Structure 1
Amino acid sequence: METLQSHRNLLLLLLLQFSFLQPLSYAYYLPDKYFINCGSETNEKVDTRIFVGDKRPAASFSLHAPHYTSLNAENNQNSSLLYQTAILFRSPSYYEFDIDVTGTHLVRLHFYPFSSKNTNLSTAVFNVSVTGFSLLRNFNFVPNINTKLPVIKEYLLSIHNGTFAINFIPYTEKSFAFVNAIEVFPIPENFITDEHPDITPLGGDKTYKGLLSQVLETIYRINVGGPELTPDSASDTLRRSWIPDDIYLSTPEAAEKSAAYSGSLNYRNDLGQYIAPDNVYKTAQEVNLQTKFINITWKFGVNLGVRHLVRMHFCDIVSQSTYNLEFFAYINHGWKIDLSNVSTRLAAPYYVDFVVDSGKSDDMYISVGMGNDPTYLKAVYRQAILNGLEIMEMSNISSNLKSDSKKRKNVVLMVGSVAGGVALICILIIGLLAALKCRKSKPVEIVTWSAWPGNEGSSYGRTSEGTNNASLIPNMNLGLKIPLSEIQFATNNFDKKLLVGEGGFGKVYKGVFRNNLKVAVKRSEPGSGQGLPEFQTEITILSKIRHKHLVSLIGYCDESSEMILVYEYMAKGTLRDHLYKSKLPSLSWKRRLEICIGSARGLHYLHTGSAEGIIHRDVKSTNILLDEKYIAKVADFGLSKLGHSLEQSHISTAVKGTLGYLDPDYFRYQQLTVKSDVYSFGVLLLEVLCARPAINPLLSREQASLAEWAMQWHKKGLLEQIIDPSLVGDINVNSLRKYGETAEKCLSEFGVDRPSMGDVLWDLEYALQLQVTAVHRDPHEDSATNVASELPLSNLQRIPTFSISIERDELPLLDEASGTTASQVFSQMMTDEGR
């Protein structure tokens, strides 16, 4: 109890240090840009804002849309002129703005799905992104939506001066995107600060750092105890809407009455009125002291496994004298925040901010009250109030987009193009054609990191996102840190002649240290800030694990704004290099099977080799590296997810990965599991067999997706017709049959129907054994089930994979000396002695 109380006390101190009474030294006036009246030639005045028609010439913003239509509403029930027009996009398009102020900006997107001619905007399905972040994914309109009300999406994000784009991407070739109005404008510098107390389901007294690198989407903005406040009636400088709290009260009988105040407010330290309007601070809910309840509780639906910024607004408008208002705030019935000493003046607005992790619950409970502390219950004046509440969902869904317009045109097409079915192929084709010219677009995953120890001067001493997956301070292996001077020596100061590759994170150089150790040096563009989350995740993952089939991290460097990762050198490069578009000798079928088996062993170890479990999330041929002996090693853990366990069925998270390899089940529900890796591995198996990429935009629509195309041939029993020509005559028919069966099970639409990586490993070992023995067998002996080959190939997905559990200690670690080959291990497992 003492420890818990100390945590709570520390949390209070953090609240007071980081969030209480943010001092601001200047007044704020709403800028005159950018407010866009989309699809219109006329300007419309809404309260004090002038929305400029986007069809009029403008020097400060521009529209880039190859195919668009301006629409006018028919029988529009909304009286606002802002929603009488809209712009419709049938291909990826974007607005580009000139930003002259670096800092936090507010972005609002207005959608009103009216009908016009033969178009009903309510049928639209599309994605929206801004430079570097995805805002809306597969956005559509609920059929029962109140068509009298517009849908307004509001975001806070940091924008650097220069060009800034808002991209609209139709979800399918038959769908479209639209928007009625757009707002982009800077808000006061200290409206959002970077550090806040971090409240997680597991407790703790940590500080969350890096809020300014997040996208904050407003989920709830509540005027507690007061009426609805619209942008034109609330005297809200930022033109926000505030809704009443009644429908969110979990204990409505606990609220005695809605307090109201008609006097002047006593703003402290020039606390700007833009934090919340006067009308929010002049109303409140009070605890009903005549009931059994001692707390007022509000319940809000939230997304699982997501952090939220929660801002609570207080103003003592009920006390007769100062220091009489003593109460607590509770988060999810657990964390208690002591607010007994913050009411030092009457009618003085103040607020507190904290970060809350929703964990496994899709409900968030916010309470205020006296609790059950006898000291407070016996107080002469006991009362609890709340004036306002804001909940903003945090996400750093980075697309690693470049800000220059030429690259943006390419990457815009990539942001929304996640594999989801045949209907997406057209967008995939466009995006990948662009990717052929610019291969630097790689999504990045974000994890929690505190400041770099002993390196406060680094520009990367700040955090990019918070999740509960990793923390640098307790786990960081400082023994891996390599001086920059040593890396410069090894690479001859990053000599271009030693450049061996380039990817989303940066350039890769071959290096040789003073002890003649050959290494691969992956260096991010110095000072760019791109790839920070990938850099952090890579170190977190690889400092925890070592395995023969996982690439080894030699060390890292974070000096002088550098982000450098140093790996063991893999002499034969990537698996993709040996499959297609290369002058390298073709790999034999036996060698390809051995590479697949090694990769499966590495992934199996990731999934099961620790209590935490690791999901790779970006399995593909370019992330399988080969050493001098063609031993395969899984690489690139920048998108990986820590924290999966046997008790945890999935991780709810934003969709990340590579086109053509994405698990449709993960894409559909945004629930990541180890079976997501299994699906990607199934695509990899076909890539190895057919020697063609997962998505080929130069082929017809039916052939563009390798997984769909190959499975069609497989179900016809003609898989041998599409194999790599160099393998013709090299593959044993029984080995091919088992291999195809394995790939098909990996590619099952639903994760629950897919095998584990242990099962896949077993099946591949069996396929290898069938290949190397080349002994004629009867058809029923070629599969692990006696009936497999008696059924048509189209029915193979219904047959369970025969498997044997491979224990963790059977997986060879990198520093183990084992001379047992994969085939020998399999042979032992097939005999009674081996079992």
Structure 2
Amino acid sequence: MMATLGRTKWQAVTTFIVLCILSSICICKAQFTPADSYLVDCGSSKSTMVGRRTFSADGASPVKVSTSQDILAGTSANGVASFDNSALYQTARIFTGPSSYTFPIQKQGRHFVRFYFFPFTYQSYDLSLAKFTVSTQDVLLLSDFQQPDKTAPLFKEYSLNITRDTLVISFKPSNGIAFVNAIEVVSVPDDLIADNAQMVDPVQQYTGLSTQPLETVYRVNMGGPKVTPDNDTLSRTWVTDGKYLLNPAVTKNVYGKDVNYKKGGATQLTAPDIVYATATELAAANTSNAVFNMTWQFDVDAGFSYLVRFHFCDIVSKALNQLYFSAYIGGFSAQSNIDLSTLSDSQLATPVYIDVVLSSNDASSKLGISIGPSTLSNVLPDGILNGLEVMKISTGGSAFTVGSGSGNKNWGVILGAALGGFGLFIIVVVLVLLCRRKKTLEKQHSKTWMPFSINGLTSLSTGSRTSYGTTLTSGLNGSYGYRFAFSVLQEATNNFDENWVIGVGGFGKVYKGVMRDETKVAVKRGNPKSQQGLNEFRTEIELLSRLRHRHLVSLIGYCDERNEMILVYEYMEKGTLKSHLYGSDNPSLDWKQRLEVCIGAARGLHYLHTGSAKAIIHRDVKSANILLDENLLAKVADFGLSKTGPELDQTHVSTAVKGSFGYLDPEYFRRQQLTEKSDVYSFGVVLLEVLCARPVIDPTLPREMVNLAEWGMKWQKRGELHQIIDQRISGTIRPDSLRKFGETVEKCLADYGVERPSMGDVLWNLEYVLQLQDADSTVSDVNSMNRIVELPSQVQNVGTLESISVTMAEAGASNEPDHDLSDVSMSRVFSQLIKAEGR
């Protein structure tokens, strides 16, 4: 009893000491004096104190308000008092027409622009019914916004790079009224957002962040208390992480006293001391039993790219080089085997941060952030995270859209200001010039692109107009491509209707299109902010204009009008292979259908590798890039990252690493040396994905299950691959078929490319796996990795090579116009070799 009381007393004392430490840390703030600092309590006739900050009365100089009616509203609702910053939600300015606030900018650069919204009823105005748009001169911040929760306030924060002498924030009601309770416009350090970040899919650098508009979605202090604006030099709020943790049982909160800042690294402006002095750590750290990741899950808007900033500070190690761990974001590896000693120049308790960009192609409505043990040998499992920021990037979506630059105006504001004699005259002149330019563009080819240029010679040698507003161009190799008018594609996609979007990728959005003759097409429209758009556009046109194969998605045409980059493909009715395996409501495929899809994809890849003088390496083989037509015929798609293979006297191509995590060839990643065998590795991962029907990277799973390739190979090498089969097809696969399939996967996933089979050998094996599944009786084993070395007794008297060559000839291989032998049905070959009635 006394021992229990002693422990309780000691815990109380410890808690008190911790709270004192945290409190002392909270009041330590860096010094920063913003050049611009406008805090406006909208709707209030007097200034308002909120913590240590003073919000000015609405309309106070030098902020100017332009509105048709001065409606300053107030409420005495008791419920407001329970909210943070409650004083700001007791008043609001109401707008009944287009209105604006104008802020003079003393120093151009990055600013926080913050809004406070809380709907209440004032006289005849019910603010809960308000629907409106908020924008600056350059950025559309909120489109047809309505308060999602009528009983709670909403705080929105944007980080904008302001390049003007004034900032005009416009409010435009959609249904009669708009409102705002408070506004902040405050300068922040320009280097708060670095220009570069690491993308996770594809693996490459993302540049241009320093000028990008961002919206703060989450700002979290891991393992520590809530941080209020009074305790952050930049007046930010950091919430606690408990509500976002999926598996709190495997975590613990840790804290440290001193934080050491190094020159050129993170500062107290990057995040306050309290963020770096607290952390969430794996609870099983420093033991051999920590096989789980700790994972936080956040609700986000799909269709946007996100900047995720990880804040780290090693407050748990007693010496350098003790802490190693990995970070994951949205199912991808963000950073492997992190060593904070290296990142902090060999100093403990030194803050650092890592910026990672997740593209709109990979962002779903649930964003998972995970920290897990390192994969290095002889390293104890551990992992920490001190803080996290999630920011939406203004690429994609309708609620946060960037304009084309400083010249892109808010037309409602401009037209209102420009009405008058001379201004109206200028607008008329501009419209006339634009109309004339449009007609000129429609009469001639764009000079921006010569997409079908091969070996320095343009293939736009002939052209004729078609009845659908397209130009038919003849290429050097005799194939044809259509150059579509932009207006035709607008019509086909219902003016690029967001409801017609069937996919989003690194290049841009893909829309379903219906031409006037009812032909369905897929229209991929380039995003001008895409980091890979220009190169992908050129690569796909040049590649697909000279390659034709029934297992490659066909390019129908393109559009380069009005500075657009649009590619038009054949429409694949059944969508992606991935969507039939998991993550959607599409019907599942049985084992035979899955094998036939894999065989079709292998044929397409085999043709890429062998169908021209130099191999073409896809570089982004994954289940999302294998599409299915209405008959479930598989076709390989998305050739934007493709690369021409090595010369005959070379073994590889040295190139920057690109691809998708989980599918990426580890040898290519380590050595940056690309070969056809990199595609073989990725295809091996697809084969496992087809068998198991689960994501290739899933940080929410126990550590040993996160990576599908690693996990699947452990079961394969134990001879127990049947244990991880998708339950929907479990029991339908013949043992011999599964065994040969597992051997094929294992060969594809060999550590070194020289140990992997060619895609032709993989194709041969998959055809054999299908034959074993269909076989009416047991057949003799075939070491199919080395082609046929032991023939069934029924065909022992037939020469192997003669049998194969004759069968291929009978199958029509010699009549293929593009000499594509990979498309000959191997099933017919095997039917001659292993069935008693054959030859």
TM-score, normalised to structure 2, is: 0.48
Larger radius of gyration: 2
